Structure 1
Amino acid sequence: MENKSHALAAGIFVLVVAAMLAGLAIWLTRDDANYQSYELSTKDGVTGLQPQAAVRYKGVAVGKVTRIGFDPQVNGNVLIRIAVNDHAPISPTTFAVLGYQGVTGLAHVLLDDAEQPYPELPPGPSGLPRLPLKPSPFGKLAEQAPAILSQVEEATRRINQLLGDNNQQLLTQALSNIGQAAGSVSALTQRLDTTLTQRVDPALAALTPLAGDARQTLQALRKAGDSVTTLATDFSQTTRRLTAEGGAIDQITVGTQALARAADQFGASTLPRLNRAADDTSRAARQVSRTAGGVSDNPQLFIYGSGRIPPGPGEPGFAAGTQ
């Protein structure tokens, strides 16, 4: 009887301790926040995502995944239901994407905002609002994996073709030709060194006196330039003196103007008078010429004058006793 009472007491103690532990666990895991449910629909795989996975808004935990199943509206799509805290700033620009934690492969839902609002998605059969789910980087990588593998295969094939036996022989010949070219360059370098030592160095030594002569020539040219500068200065001063007001050019101009006025006066007054005197002289000369002609034809003018001379004996019209 005593053993049964001890066993009963131990059983009751175990039950009480288990109830206390269950109450403590419930108390520690209680969550008094209000949540709003949303749905996400995607055609991509959700490997690594489990119920109770975290939902983060820009890295801050705001909820959890409550259910993962298939979308009854779109055949083949995965439907994810999440519970988000009412304090999370969900807006028309908010979208979701799957994130992965390191090398563990565990996934969670990340919420973020886009620059432009997304078209509002119609609610599902449950009536819950839906958020757009963008493909994750790993999903994009999985989509591009076949193309990447084909490109890698093509690159491997080309590398194998490049490293084939024929190309290796060609590469060996090219290396040999490069070695021969290097030897030729070395020989050419030695010849250049010999040429520099035997010919260029003496020529450089002969350039020193030539440089001295060139320096003296430059000094002479500098002096000549100074002389030319002085001559130009004197010429400029002379030009300023000639072109100054009252200078030689002005005096020449005044003299030319006076000479022009004298020429105008000569042409206006003196020249007509000379023309008239010349006309008078010409008339007098003609009169003298006529007089000389008359005297030559009739020298008796000096005796009988300029009247008519009566005819003499033997001349027509002569009459005796009329003399």
Structure 2
Amino acid sequence: MENRSHALIAGFFTIALIILTTIFAMWLGHDKIQRIPYEIVTNSSVSGLNLQAAVRYKGIKVGNVTDINFNPKVPGQIMLRVEVIPTTPVTTATFATLAYQGVTGIAFIQLDDDKQPGTELLASNQLEDALPRIPLRPSILQNLEQKGIAILGQTEQLTQRINQLLDPQNPASLISTMGHFSKAADQWGAVPGQIAPSLAKLPALIDQTQNTLISVKNLSVDANKFTQNLNQLSNQLQSSEGPIAHFNNALDQISNSVTTETLPRIQTLTGEARSSLRMLNRTTENLNDRPQSILFGNPAPSPGPGEPGFVAPISAPE
């Protein structure tokens, strides 16, 4: 019985020790620091990233990855939930990249900024469960992978072009092209001999050009002198004592004499001519009425009232 009682006590002691150890471990693992949650959304691969992976800000651990899941609204999109300590300076200029630790390949989230001032990072929508989102940029390895794929594509194109260049049909074309180049070089070698006579004539042509320039210069000087003479002649003609001024004065005098002397005389002569015409008209009318007046003269006028021989006219009976 004693053996059984000792075994039972040992079993109870072992169970109690396990329970106490579990409670102590849970107490030690309990984090009393309040953390701020953020959300990271990406369409890229997050291979090597696990739950409770570290979140570092400029190399300092500030939190952990608490959730990795797919976005049910956007197929192929991955949503990462991270929690960091409140003192982490997360702003609108902060971005995340996927980094790898050493040669183990264990991934973690690296936070950094663009070295620009930013404001407090808030949720992009007004939903209650919405979290502020930190953009995830491609890591160095991802950029190298993309550029490596592009380089491989360019290398493949270069290889295809080299194969086309080394095609059996191309050497003949290359040989023909080289032959054309050789002929062109031979023709170019004959060019200096053809140009030599023209080059020999260049000194004489240069001398003629210089003489022509001297003649043009002299002509320009003569033209300037002629222009100066014309300017002097124009100034003399336009001066107050020049011939144009004298001609204008003579015209003014003639105009004044015509206005003050000739026109009044013409007006007087015109008046006398009008009087003569009136008298001539009267004489013509008298001759028409009494042609005998040419021989007997004009009859004496009838006596008027109060003159001798006046006879009053007799009125007709009513």
Q: Which residue of 1 aligns with 2:62?
A: 63
Mapped to 2, the partners of 1:41 and 1:221 lie a distance apart of 84
> TM-score scaled by structure 2?
0.54
Mapped to 1, the partners of 2:241 and 2:55 lie a distance apart of 102
1:193 aligns with 2:196: yes
Q: How does 1:162-173 map to 2 (within 5 A)?
A: 162-173=165-176
Question: Deviation of residue 184 (structure 1)?
Answer: 1.0
1:136 maps to which of 135, 138, 141? 138
1:237 aligns with 2:242: no
Q: How does 1:76-115 map to 2 (within 5 A)?
A: 82-91=82-91, 95-99=95-99, 107-112=107-112
1:119 aligns with 2:121: no
Letter paired with 1:136 = P
Across the aligned residues of Structure 1 and Structure 2, the Cα RMSD in angstroms comes to 5.1
The question of whether the paired residues in 2 share the 8 Å contact of 1:39 and 1:129 is answered with yes
Mapped to 2, the partners of 1:106 and 1:267 lie a distance apart of 133
Letter paired with 2:124 = P
Using a 3 Å threshold, how does the CA distance of structure 1 residues 117 and 128 change in structure 2: closer, same or farther? closer
Aligned positions, number: 246
Gaps of 5+ in 1: 1-30, 285-305, 308-323
Which segment drifts farther, 96-105 or 161-170? 96-105
Question: Deviation of residue 53 (structure 1)?
Answer: 5.9
Mapped to 1, the partners of 2:251 and 2:146 lie a distance apart of 102
Using a 3 Å threshold, how does the CA distance of structure 1 residues 230 and 132 change in structure 2: closer, same or farther? same
Using a 3 Å threshold, how does the CA distance of structure 1 residues 220 and 112 change in structure 2: closer, same or farther? closer
- SS of the residue 1:87 aligns to: coil
Mapped to 2, the partners of 1:219 and 1:46 lie a distance apart of 89
Q: How does 1:177-216 map to 2 (within 5 A)?
A: 177-197=180-200, 199-204=201-206, 207=208, 211=210, 215=214
Letter paired with 1:44 = S
Q: Which residue of 2 aligns with 1:255?
A: 253
Letter paired with 2:198 = T
The question of whether the paired residues in 2 share the 8 Å contact of 1:62 and 1:88 is answered with no
Question: Deviation of residue 87 (structure 1)?
Answer: 0.5
Gaps of 5+ in 2: 1-30, 284-294, 297-318
- SS of the residue 2:195 aligns to: helix
Listed one character per residue, the Cα deviations across residues 42-69 of structure 1 (whole Å, up to 9, x for unaligned) are: 5533345467765343x352524456x7
> TM-score scaled by structure 1?
0.53
The question of whether the paired residues in 2 share the 8 Å contact of 1:52 and 1:66 is answered with yes
2:177 maps to which of 166, 169, 174? 174
Using a 3 Å threshold, how does the CA distance of structure 1 residues 62 and 88 change in structure 2: closer, same or farther? farther
Mapped to 2, the partners of 1:120 and 1:92 lie a distance apart of 15
Question: Deviation of residue 229 (structure 1)?
Answer: 0.2
Mapped to 2, the partners of 1:169 and 1:214 lie a distance apart of 58
Q: Aligned residues: percent identity? A: 22
